[in-house]
A and B are shown apart, each in its own frame.
Chain A
Amino acid sequence: MIHLDDTDKKILNTIQYDFPLDVRPFKRLGEEMGISEEEIIRRLERLHDEGAVRKIGPVINRNRVGGTSTLVAVNVPEHMIEEVAGYIDEYSEVSHNYLRPDKYNIWFTLSASSEERIKEILEELTRKTGLEFMNLPTVRLFKIGVRFNIK
């Protein structure tokens, strides 16, 4: 596990939602936090290399760029888990894929250009695996706002 000091934590809590949109964003960030641009960059390089920061970039809203997304569940027998997870991961439209042991044990999100494309992917997966995929598109969105409070 990565060691984080108070400055690292402050940086991480700030740059999730309040990353400065500026031509010199790290300089601005440093000014806001009272440290130099060089130190911000040095710390971010370490945080990135060690996995605390996956990337700094846009979180794209699928519904606004002409597409649609859904959550899919499938009940996969134990011995097929690796194989089925592999088939699912092959699609660039799959944004998240998790093993969650329960009645349905593999859960993944699909984000695609159209509902037809989603249907096509699920039909292909059924052909490859012989399994039935439960498609649960969003009916209503109440909240989306991943923000980790790093303590």
Chain B
Amino acid sequence: MRIIGENYRARNMDATDEMILKATQDGISLQGSPFRDIAERLGLTEDEVVERIRLMKEKGIIRRFGASIGHRDIGILANAMCIWNVPEERVEDVGRIMASFPEVTHCYERPRRSGWEYNLFTMVHSYTRSDCEEVAARISQSTGIEDYRLLFSEREFKKTGVRL
């Protein structure tokens, strides 16, 4: 998952971009001109700050710029990590099908380990555990993968997102 060589450099950011990310990663202020202070500190105009954020989004340096939701606080209490044992030759195909479910927020292939045969991971968030179970059952049906488990989170020790 590392991007190297020319491709990486072309998509990389400069020191000003990095300062903008550091200044906004904990959230912009909830006031009319939230980028004004940042712009002043960095010696830029507000338009330049916004344009740089837009470009970082376009380049894929940031996945999105927007709100992180406290999903538990608004009642989306169930959060299941569904783990699937998928035959090697079907991973590409099955991964795409799983990713197409709107309820699936993350879908990754990960390595098998000794005593650990699950190689596809999907995250499902919903209002209740039974909602999550129902989504997993539908995924199982449409992919034909029957060896799977749901791991529900019982406690959140930490959630900060990626930080610089």
Contacts and interface: CB of A to CB of B under 8 A. Distances in A.
Contacts, number: 245
A65 B15 CA distance: 12
Interface residues of A, number: 75
Contacts of A64: 3, 11-12, 59-61
B50 A71 contact: no
A59 B1 contact: no
Interface string A124-145: 0000000000101111111111
Contact of B111 (A17, A26, A62, A139): A139
Interface of B: 1-3, 8, 11-13, 21, 24-28, 30-36, 46-47, 50, 53-54, 56-57, 59-71, 73-76, 79, 81, 91-92, 95-96, 98-99, 102, 104-111, 113, 116, 119, 121, 125, 127, 149, 151-164
Given A107-B81, A111-B162, 10 more contacts: A2-B73, A23-B36, A59-B161, A59-B162, A60-B162, A85-B157, A88-B158, A95-B161, A139-B119, A146-B106
